[in-house]
């Protein structure tokens, strides 16, 4: 899925038309996925294709809770709100599988043999 497609979906699901704002939330969602998927590797900038739908879901979540960041509980006119965390909830990242490699020992050639 391209960034333009993600932007279109997030806009449709939230009703927000500020593309700069939506792009920032999509980037934040992508970074959360990258941080979870590659905990031991730096320099990764691309979200794996299999997590693009999750990136959109997280971006929609972040847009919808805009203005109420960090809110733990809210009750108004029978509407109750509470948030799992101040950023992306752990439950939304639960199915992201971290990538880790076991280092293989380097073969050192013995020049004396």
Identify the pLDDT of residue 76: 75
Cβ contact 88:35 at 8 Å: no
Residue spans per domain, the chain? 3-93
Per residue in 4-52, pLDDT (tens digit) is 999 999 999 999 999 999 999 999 999 999 999 999 888 889 999 999 9
Q: What is the DSSP string of 64-103?
A: HTTT-TT---EEETTEEE--S-SSS-HHHHTTPPPP--PP
Identify the pLDDT of residue 105: 78
Per residue in 66-113, pLDDT (tens digit) is 766 656 666 778 777 776 666 788 889 999 999 877 777 776 655 555
Identify the pLDDT of residue 43: 86
């Amino acid at each position: 899925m391209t960034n333009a497609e993600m932007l279109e979906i997030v806009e449709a699901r939230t009703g927000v038309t500020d593309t700069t704002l939506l792009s920032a939330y999509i980037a934040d969602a992508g970074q959360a996925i990258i941080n979870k998927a590659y905990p031991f590797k730096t320099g990764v900038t691309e979200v794996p294709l299999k997590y693009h739908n999750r990136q959109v879901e997280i971006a929609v979540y972040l847009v919808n809770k805009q203005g109420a960041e960090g809110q733990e509980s809210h009750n108004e006119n029978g509407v109750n709100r509470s948030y799992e965390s101040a950023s992306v909830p752990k439950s939304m990242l639960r199915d992201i599988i971290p990538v880790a490699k076991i280092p293989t020992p380097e073969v050192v050639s013995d020049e004396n043999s």
